[in-house]
């Protein structure tokens, strides 16, 4: 990488937060959510909204099933535009591009599967659900979810924004026929993982690789809560400088799905918890087009990537936080304080 480009990337993750802080993201989310809700009729609004404390808020998934909320299929073109505007308040340009491409892959699957069962693959079967009342002072949340795309945002006290759990997947991982041939929506996540594992020497690889066969699925699936996984793999502190840079670049690729303000704030937390404690663990082949799995884990977060299904042409990837999923710990602290005032 050219030194000047490396500097720009570093600045993007270290300087963005002071310039445009996460509470500005929260304000954008409130405005966009209100506009979306205002566009709905009474029946649609009832379908789209739940209390923040409802169990449905943590009932997330990434398989092609019906969700609770309002699907694009039942909205107008204008309402869909407002729904996408809400999604853009949480995702970066890169994240939005990935989300749009993932949704569009439903048309590829529709063709590959000859639409069997009928209607299963549908790019309008993506749901928006609002939890609580969008507010610049109170806590609330929202979800944009469908097949292979799950974006869960929680805003605590109108200021603190959490974006985990967050899932992106692709089937096919690489489009091999038709006008979109060669497209790999999550190719960067796959290529950087392969570049890192192949940069390790034999001794390092013995520490990093915990299985010769890739896992068939991400370990954490759609669990509401996750704990650190084992084996730990190789720690950043055991890597050479260039390898360590590859590991941090891999983490930043996942964070780059989100608004720069959120990415910068989250990377600062990861760094404060100890970048040298981040570990990289691998299972499976060491080359593309064969089944692979990796996880990147730090004191505060977990990333999983798996490409096993459909002859290693079906990717699942997830970003989780041990205390930040659904803003759980900060919300619990908030509720405890509010209960203490009564």
Q: In this structure, are strands 127-131 and 49-50 parallel, antiparallel, or unpaired? A: parallel
Helices (H), the chain: 3-14, 16-19, 22-38, 42-48, 77-88, 93-112, 187-199, 202-208, 241-255, 260-274, 309-312, 328-341
Residue 229 DSSP class: -
Q: In this structure, are strands 301-307 and 49-50 parallel, antiparallel, or unpaired? A: unpaired
Residue 2 has pLDDT above 70, yes or no: no
Quote the CA–CA distance of 8 and 14 in Å, as a whole number: 10
Tens-digit pLDDT profile for residues 187-211: 999 999 999 999 999 999 999 999 9
Average pLDDT over residues 228-244: 95
Say if CB 172 and CB 321 are below 8 A apart: no
Residue 215 has pLDDT above 60, yes or no: yes
Residue 19 has pLDDT above 60, yes or no: no
Give the residues across from 62 on adjacent strands: none
Share of the chain above pLDDT 70, in %: 92
Say if CB 64 and CB 56 are below 8 A apart: no
Residue 89 CB coordination number (10 Å): 19
Residue 59 has pLDDT above 90, yes or no: yes
At 119 the pLDDT is: 74
Q: How confident is the model at residue 114 (pLDDT cuts 50, 70, 90)?
A: confident
Average pLDDT over residues 254-258: 98
| 138-170 residues labelled b (16+ CB within 10 A) or e (exposed) | ebbbbbbbbbbbbbbbbbbbbbbbbbbbbbbbb
Domain range summary for the chain, segments of one domain joined by +: 3-177+184-341
Residue written as tokens 């002072």? 137
Residue written as tokens 């899932």? 167
At 339 the pLDDT is: 56
The lowest-confidence range among 111-115, 141-145, 239-243 is: 111-115
Where residue 274 falls (left for φ over 0; alpha for ψ -120 to 50; beta otherwise) is left
Tens-digit pLDDT profile for residues 89-98: 999 999 999 9
Q: Within 13 Å, how many C-alpha atoms sit on residue 103's CB side?
A: 20
Calculate the average pLDDT of the chain.
Answer: 92
289 versus 10: the higher-pLDDT residue is 289
At 115 the pLDDT is: 73
Quote the CA–CA distance of 270 and 252 in Å, as a whole number: 11
Quote the CA–CA distance of 163 and 208 in Å, as a whole number: 28
Helices (H), 39-76: 42-48
At 208 the pLDDT is: 98
| Cα separations in angstroms, 333 against 157, 170, 226, 320 | 11, 36, 19, 20
Is pTM beyond 0.75? Reply is yes
At 116 the pLDDT is: 72
CA 154-56-322 angle, 5° bins:
50
Residue 159 has pLDDT above 60, yes or no: yes
Residue 21 has pLDDT above 90, yes or no: no
Q: How confident is the model at residue 4 (pLDDT cuts 50, 70, 90)?
A: very low
Q: Count of residues for the chain? A: 342
Q: Which two tokens stand for residue 22?
A: 């996460």
Q: Within 13 Å, how many C-alpha atoms sit on residue 162's CB side?
A: 24
Q: Within 13 Å, how many C-alpha atoms sit on residue 43's CB side?
A: 3
């Amino acid at each position: 990488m050219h030194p000047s480009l490396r500097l720009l990337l570093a600045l993007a993750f270290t300087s963005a937060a002071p310039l445009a802080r996460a509470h500005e993201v929260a304000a954008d989310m409130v405005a966009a959510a209100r506009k979306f809700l205002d566009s709905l009729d009474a029946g649609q609004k009832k379908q789209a909204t739940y209390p923040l404390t409802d169990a449905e808020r943590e009932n997330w998934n990434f398989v092609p099933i019906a969700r609770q909320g309002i699907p694009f299929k039942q909205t107008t073109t204008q309402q869909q535009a407002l729904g996408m505007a809400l999604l853009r308040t949480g995702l970066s340009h890169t994240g939005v591009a990935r989300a749009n491409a993932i949704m569009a892959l439903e048309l590829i699957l529709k063709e590959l599967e000859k639409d069997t069962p009928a209607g299963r693959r549908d790019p309008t079967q993506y749901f928006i659900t609002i939890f609580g009342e969008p507010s610049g002072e109170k806590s609330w949340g929202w979800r944009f979810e469908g097949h292979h795309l799950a974006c869960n945002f929680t805003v605590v006290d109108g200021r603190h924004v959490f974006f985990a759990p967050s899932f992106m997947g692709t089937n096919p991982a690489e489009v091999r026929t038709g006008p979109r041939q060669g497209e790999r929506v999550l190719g960067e996540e796959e290529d950087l993982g392969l570049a890192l594992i192949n940069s390790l020497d034999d001794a390092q690889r013995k520490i990093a690789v915990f299985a010769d066969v890739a896992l068939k699925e991400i370990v954490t699936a759609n669990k509401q809560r996750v704990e650190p996984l084992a084996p730990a793999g190789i720690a950043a502190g055991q890597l050479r400088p260039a390898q360590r840079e590859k590991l941090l670049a891999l983490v930043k690729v996942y964070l780059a799905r989100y608004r720069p303000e959120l990415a910068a704030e989250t990377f600062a937390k990861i760094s404060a918890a100890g970048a040298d404690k981040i570990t990289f663990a691998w299972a499976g082949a060491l080359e593309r087009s064969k089944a692979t799995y990796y996880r990147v884990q730090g004191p505060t977060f977990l990333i999983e990537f798996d490409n096993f299904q459909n002859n290693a042409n079906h990717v699942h990837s997830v970003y989780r936080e041990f205390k930040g999923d659904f803003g759980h710990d900060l919300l619990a602290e908030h509720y405890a304080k509010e209960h203490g005032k009564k």
